[in-house]
């Protein structure tokens, strides 16, 4: 159980709000993948969520700069806020590229990777919700790490097949970028899990 001096609860509240925003964006991306229509409109919605997340990150860092006593190490607060922001940035990066690259149809591998991202963001949300007392945080971190390994395997195979089968060089470049961005998103989810694990270990 985390042990520390009484502090204002705003950090936990802000982290929970930030994690909820990340999950909302991941679910919006998943909806886009399963109902691939009105792509620009749906990408704009995810962009709005990314902007909301930027404001939450700003509020977290501002609170950190104004607060003497914090619930856990200051560098961990900064790292967690930044890592959550990175996940949201990459989710937005995927959706915006669907629109910018004028992708007409997405691949089954893309749908699978986005499903993994959504599951990892569920894990992040649950882990952050339990951060106040640390119960089950490590359990969710393990799940997120396993999901990242699965995504890495799919991304590697998809990229290799892309180089074997792509007939259009421009399409190859587009999809290589998209698969890379999807893999980076799962990597960022794993970074969040590693930071959360470090916080729990240091405070128990």
8: confidence class by pLDDT, cuts 50, 70, 90: low
Task: Print the domain residue range for 145.
Answer: 10-202
For residue range 28-49, list pLDDT tens digits in order: 999 999 999 999 999 999 999 9
Average pLDDT of the chain to the nearest whole number: 90
pLDDT more than 90, % of the chain: 70
Considering the domain boundaries, does residue 92 fall inside one? Answer: yes
Tell me if 4 is assigned to some domain.
no
Domain assignment of residue 109, yes or no: yes
The tokens 């089950």 sit on which residue? 136
Which of 121, 115, 95 is CA-nearest to residue 192? 121
Asked whether residue 194 is assigned to any structural domain, the reply reads yes
Say if residues 184 and 90 touch (Cβ distance below 8 Å): yes
Higher pLDDT, 155 or 171: 155
Q: What are phi and psi of 170, to 5 degrees?
A: -65, -40
- The rounded distance, in Å, linking the Cα atoms of 124 and 189 is 7
In a domain, 125, yes or no: yes
Residue 92 belongs to a domain with what CATH number? Answer: 1.20.58.220
pTM of the model: 0.91
**CB within 8 Å of 24: residues ≥ 6 apart:** 49
- What confidence tier does 171 reach under pLDDT thresholds 50, 70, 90? confident
User: 112 versus 8: which is more confidently predicted?
Assistant: 112
pLDDT tens-digit series, residues 90-103:
999 999 999 999 99
The confidence score (pLDDT) of residue 65 equals: 83
Q: How confident is the model at residue 14 (pLDDT cuts 50, 70, 90)?
A: very high
- The pLDDT confidence band at residue 3, using thresholds 50, 70 and 90, is very low
pLDDT tens digits for range 60-87: 988 888 877 878 888 999 999 999 999 9
Count: domains in the chain: 1
Does residue 5 lie within any of the structural domains? no
Does a structural domain hold residue 2? Answer: no
């Amino acid at each position: 159980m985390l042990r520390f001096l009484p502090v204002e609860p705003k950090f936990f509240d802000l982290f929970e709000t930030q994690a909820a925003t990340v999950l909302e964006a991941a679910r919006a991306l998943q909806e886009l993948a399963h109902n691939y229509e009105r792509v620009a409109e749906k990408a704009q919605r995810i962009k709005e969520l990314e902007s909301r997340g930027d404001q939450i990150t700003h509020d977290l860092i501002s609170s950190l700069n104004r607060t003497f006593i914090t619930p856990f190490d200051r560098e961990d607060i900064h790292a967690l806020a930044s890592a959550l922001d990175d996940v949201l940035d990459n989710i937005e990066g995927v959706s915006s590229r669907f629109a910018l690259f004028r992708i007409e149809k997405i691949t089954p591998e893309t749908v699978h990777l986005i499903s993994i991202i959504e599951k990892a963001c569920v894990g992040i949300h649950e882990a952050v919700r339990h951060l106040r007392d640390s119960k089950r945080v490590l359990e969710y971190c393990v799940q997120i790490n396993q999901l990242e390994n699965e995504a890495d395997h799919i991304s590697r195979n998809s990229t290799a097949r892309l180089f074997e089968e792509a007939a259009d060089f421009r399409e190859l470049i587009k999809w290589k970028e998209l698969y890379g961005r999807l893999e980076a998103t799962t990597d960022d989810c794993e970074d969040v899990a590693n930071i959360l694990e470090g916080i729990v270990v240091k405070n128990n």
